Structure 1
Amino acid sequence: MLGATAAAVGRGGADAVDLVEAAARVAWSTVVEPGDSVAGLLVQALGAERSFALVRAALDDGLQGLLDTCTDEAVPGAESTAAFAETVRVALERWGPRLGRVDVLATLDAARSVGARLVVPGTASWPRAVDDLGPHAPVVLWTRSGRRASGPALAVVGSRANTVAGAEATAEIASTAADAGCTVVSGGAYGIDATAHRVAVAAGTPTVAVLAGGIDQLYPTGNVELLRNVARQGTLLAESPPGTRPTRWRFLARNRLIAALGAATVVVEAGARSGALNTAHHAAQLGRPVFAVPGAFSSSASVGCHRLVADGRAQIVVGAGDPVDAVLGAHGRSVRGRSSRRGDEPRGDEPLGGGRQDPEVVRVLDALGRRALDEQEIAVRAGMSTGAVVDALALAELQGLVRHTVGGWARS
């Protein structure tokens, strides 16, 4: 089993961690649901191997041994003996049905079959930002990655049923983040999530999609190809073991990881009951800046964003650079006043506008003739850099102004 664990962690990581502890963390991940704070407390205070052994013993011999150890080790909450005992008893009841079915080797084999890697605390690939979740932090993470994310991250979330204006705003924000060297983090869902990932992929910048199920569960099915592109250029991330199906609960639990990974979160569009509001709530609890893009007051897709601003839980996005500036601020950098790939003018103070008014989209459209052209030829015709052409095409595609064909790009 240790050999399989070492292989899952990968070269370098196996030397950095205790493989027995790593295997025990995998075992824990197959027993608990994401964000289980009782399991998190036990693992953090006692270690994964010791706590798992104590829990299995408690299932057969009763709670007293586990409770005594928690008291001796000053596990947070154990000082309140009766309340802590009840908390652990309830936790053991929900863990019990899975404890007898733990198969670490099968889990590692399932991950290997899709090219996934195990990430645990202590390895270079572990995103330390998730440690801010405390006992709600994941016990393990699984990744499929073609390019390791670097630089500060911006979480971009919103409605699955976005409007055209929402797609435009998302494209502007994600493009500005890419130009500033930020990683774009989202959930891989339809709508705003998918737009953010697509723009990042088109811009050639790393992007992270956090899955609600196992690392082998590419969901929704309509985004499978997009998620594969994310895996090639950036990272797919999951905390549930392979084979775990996405559920409503797991989507909500997944949102805390998106919020933790982003140095700031921007909600582009959100209905009154949108899951994106849950991500904003987690970000605020973590002390991360939260932004919301305004829309028409009559738009149901913007009700949640307006409520966040009205309640003082989010800052209003005036320009595409606002949330990016919040991300870069901690690093002593700012998107304002610095030129980007798309031109010499700073984009941070530009309003969130439509692609039809974007001068570079206009130039790209003018360059397109009757036959399809590749990015290089468009750049030559438009007098633009290839990077600027890629950004403009991504925005124009979202507007339905261009389409990608076998021969290249053409007007729609």
Structure 2
Amino acid sequence: MFLTRLAFKNLTRHRNRTVITSIIIAFAVLTYILYDSLIGGMSEMSYATILDYEAGHLQVVTDAYWQAEKEEKELPLEHLLMLDDELDREIQGVEGFVAAAPELHFFARLSNGLDELPVLAKGIDPEAMRGVFALEKQFVEGSMFALDEAKAVMGKRLADLMELTVGDYITLLVKDKAGHFNTIEAEIAGLVHTSNPNVNQNIIYLPLPLVAQRLNVGGGVSKVMIRLENKETAPKRAAELAGRIKKIDGRLAVYPWQELEAVTFIGAAELEKRVIFAIILLIGAIAIINTVILAALERMGEIGMMKALGLQNKEVVFTFVLESTGIGILGGVAGIMMGMTGVGLLAKYGVDFGGMVGLDITTFGMPIIGKIYGVWNPAAFVRVFLFVVLTSLLASILPAYWAADKDPVKTIYHR
């Protein structure tokens, strides 16, 4: 108990050093908590924008199409699937099924009569799409077309770039399944603006029958997008559905949203978070080591007296380690308190990087626009606190042994 009381007394004896070191640790903890909150918010928003506007929870495709799209960045019309009644029944029989929508993807060159621009076009069934994606509520002008109309919907940014508006006519230059050039002409029915920049500036939606006719693919579609009640069950449902539809067509496969390339890229942010965590631990360790060395240099005579009175090296070390751990606890608690306040503000008000410094985070691969909101992650609070305390303890051991190993006679007369 004497050593414990001595260690805590030393915290108040050298108040300024204790406060300064605790503040350094507190700001390191705060930095990690805020970074974790923002990364978590960016990830959640990125997942939402991809799933709600492009990917769905499950995708039924042929293996050949999936590999060509993923590895070769192609949309091959020769590897389409046929959505017949039998396949449709199996899809709708998936546990947790909400809706399914067929899509026919192809690359095209968009022309307004003066300029051309490469785009990704999608033939869709607007009624089916409404159940899978949230596009219907994002119209800023016009509305969705009917299945039998020769009309199109595109992002407002793309329309502004091409100086187009609702009611204008566009021409898409395409290659059909046989490799022959063809055109698709359509009137713009509506313009959308979503939280997904890819939808806003790269994609054009067209009626599926019109697209199928001009591409000469019959009843083939690129993918069937499926929405589930719970997106976290997607891997399990994908495996179950794949087992059943293989009996219908051995070329078919089912992929959950977790296997999408864009989602994999977002997951790379977790690696960045670990790097930040390591930097924080290094900052904390340097601060603790510096504190212990300074304390040892100031208290050389005191250490000599303690050893002369019979204290062993390990007892002297225990005193320093306990003092350092106390500083880590103080800094950790202060950082947690500040972190709770910071995350609360981020979750409520968010951060608009574009408005603050003109930074467009889409240039860094994040598929979101607008404000970034923080999220609460209690595990991050617990994790960073425990690691800071543990780092404070471990970082003080070697300097403490260095101080305790001094000759007591020399340390008593140390000046």
Instruction: Pick the structure with more strand per residue.
Output: 2
Q: Which structure would you say has the larger Rg? A: 2
Bigger relative contact order, structure 1 or 2, given CA contacts below 8 A and separation 6+?
2
TM-score computed with the length of structure 1 as normaliser: 0.23
**Relative to total residues, which structure has the larger helix share, 1 or 2?**
2
